[in-house]
Amino acid sequence: PVLHRDLKPANVLVTESFRAKVCDFGISREKMATCAPGTMSKGIGTPVYMAPEMLESKPYSTKLDVYAFAMVMYNVLTCKPPFAGMGHDGGNLDPVQAIVKVITFNARPRCDAELFPPHLPPGVLTSMCRAWDRDPDARPDFDELVPLFDEWVVASAAASV
């Protein structure tokens, strides 16, 4: 298994059949039980998609990518980047603002149901918001998240026919 370490919309390609393909493995690393603090993590990644443990140079695991995956899905489902409107000027967060908000203020995107498509299958919103937990051990695994989003893609495709 591989830790991608920079999941973001620009690194996910979608095929004509709505299959997501992750790309740009330039900063990825082979999965170990846990990566040591600061191991190949300084100055890499995209702050609004990065988990708190990586921003703080703490040990991290595959839950790092779970956090980023949920941020990507927020972007897909709302058509807005994470933390939209949370910048000091009411705009989007710049990288430094993102780091400060996530680490110091434990900021996360809003999980209000009205921000999301009405046909979202049960559990998608709850699991996505759990994936942003500050504690990596409290985050769901990909085995829980991916089937929920697959169900949403199938339901969305069927609704558009």
pLDDT at 36: 55
Q: Residue type for 64, please?
A: L
What are all long-range contacts of 48-54, with beta carbons under 8 Å and residues at least 24 apart? 48/81, 48/82, 48/83, 48/92, 48/93, 48/95, 48/98, 49/6, 49/7, 49/8, 49/82, 50/98, 50/102, 51/136, 52/102, 52/103, 52/106, 52/134, 53/136, 54/5
- pLDDT, greater one: 81 or 27: 81
First to last CA, the chain: 36
pLDDT, tens digit, for every residue of 91-136?
Answer: 888 888 889 999 999 999 988 888 898 878 778 899 999 999 999 9
pLDDT above 90 for 39: no
Kindly state the average pLDDT of the residues 49-69: 92
75 touches 82 (CB < 8 A)? yes
SS3 35: strand
Report if pTM > 0.85.
no
Q: For residue 37, what are the CA distances in angstroms to 61, 96, 144?
A: 11, 20, 27
CB neighbour list of residue 24: distance below 8 Å, 6 or more residues apart:
6, 10, 11
Q: How many helices (H) does the chain have, and how many strands (E)?
A: 5, 4
**Residue numbers annotated as active site:** 6
pLDDT above 60 for 35: no
pLDDT, averaged across the chain: 83
Strand-pairing partners, residue 30, are 2
